[in-house]
Copies of this chain bind each other. A is one copy, B any other.
Amino acid sequence: MKKEEFFSQIGQFKKRVYRKLPSIKHSIAFADNLVAFLFPVRLEIICQKPEKEFERLKLEFNSILMAMGYNEENAFEVSNDFMETMPDIYANLITDVSAIYEGDPAARSIEEIIITYPGFLATCIYRLAHELYKLQVPVMPRIFSEYAHSITGIDIHPGATIGQSFCIDHGTGIVIGETAEIGSHVKIYQGVTIGALSIQKNETSIKRHPTIKDHVIIYAGATILGGNTTVGENAIIGGNVWLIESVEPRSVVTHSHKVQIRQKKKN
């Protein structure tokens, strides 16, 4: 590419996106502030009374939206609608903390989970991003989810739906796609993919990712693919399983882990 063309393209791009996209920096600060509001111990910002902080956060979101070109009325409505979901998000997150605590012998206290568990942080930011996604705020839900992804290695698309008492253990490498539907009391380990089989660009609006029913456990490295794949209630999916069709409730699905063992020759 010639240098003049190069400089000109950079300049054009700048003009095209100006005042249309959310600020990354302010979006991430807002995500941090929301988490610190819900769990005052996590980010140790000295919070005022919860009622006041709640109103302050609404104004913070309002400014981000107006800087993106929302008019006053829309910005007010969207920021208000979003903040009104906080009590229910909080109620869900309390069920998630309990599920993690019950499922991990290494967890010593609720506070340890809230402060240090990446699976909990990823779930927390997912639940916030999902509400932004439902309110159709552009790009910002993905900024939230990729922020969590960069910290935790856990990649949950904001469009996915996930029930209560969701438990992620370790978590690095988890991928959950946009149209996945996950029930309540589901437990997922590191390296699990709940993804798409087909990736045709024209399939944006159809269900491309699996449905996981209540009380399912999915062990490390399992891959479950396809919009027509349903894992029934109380099923157990073993480590490294590759699943592209539905299984009945109470199924136990295991991968054949045959290994060969031989002895090294003496040197």
**A77 in the interface (beta carbon within 8 A):** no
B191 touches A170 (CB 8 A): no
- The distance in angstroms between the C-alpha atoms of A173 and B67, with both chains bound, is 36
- For A23, the closest partner residue in chain B by CB is B44
A117 touches B146 (CB 8 A): yes
Q: What total of chain A residues lie within 8 Å of the partner, measured CB to CB?
A: 110
**A80 in the interface (beta carbon within 8 A):** no
**Residue interface bits A157-170, CB-to-B below 8 A is 1, else 0:** 10100000000011
Known: A13-B40, A170-B175. A196 touches B263 (CB 8 A): no
A90 touches which one: B9, B153, B190 (CB < 8 A)?
A: B9
**A253 in the interface (beta carbon within 8 A):** yes
Interface residues of A in 223-265 (CB under 8 A from B): 223, 234, 236, 238-243, 247-248, 250-264
**A73 in the interface (beta carbon within 8 A):** no
**Chain B residues with CB under 8 A of A173:** 153, 172-173, 190-191
Interface residues of A in 175-202 (CB under 8 A from B): 175, 177-178, 190-191, 193, 195-196, 199-202
Q: How far is the CB of A166 from chain B (nearest CB, A)?
A: 16
**Chain B residues with CB under 8 A of A6:** 50, 86-87, 90-91
- The distance in angstroms between the C-alpha atoms of A23 and B115, with both chains bound, is 10
Q: How many chain copies does the complex carry?
A: 3
**Chain B residues with CB under 8 A of A20:** 111
**Chain B residues with CB under 8 A of A71:** none
A87 touches which one: B3, B104, B223 (CB < 8 A)?
A: B3
Q: How far is the CB of A100 from chain B (nearest CB, A)?
A: 11
**Chain B residues with CB under 8 A of A248:** 263
- The distance in angstroms between the C-alpha atoms of A151 and B178, with both chains bound, is 22
A10 touches B172 (CB 8 A): no
Known pairs A7-B51, A14-B41, A173-B191; list 19 more (Cβ under 8 Å).
A9-B90, A10-B40, A24-B44, A102-B201, A105-B196, A105-B199, A106-B159, A116-B139, A118-B150, A153-B153, A169-B199, A170-B175, A175-B190, A190-B193, A193-B220, A195-B220, A250-B264, A251-B261, A253-B261
Interface on A for B, CB 8 Å cutoff?
A: 1-3, 5-7, 9-11, 13-14, 17, 20-21, 23-25, 37-44, 47, 49-51, 54, 86-88, 90-91, 94, 102-106, 108-109, 111-112, 115-118, 138-139, 142-143, 145-146, 149-153, 155, 157, 159, 169-170, 172-173, 175, 177-178, 190-191, 193, 195-196, 199-204, 208, 220-221, 223, 234, 236, 238-243, 247-248, 250-264
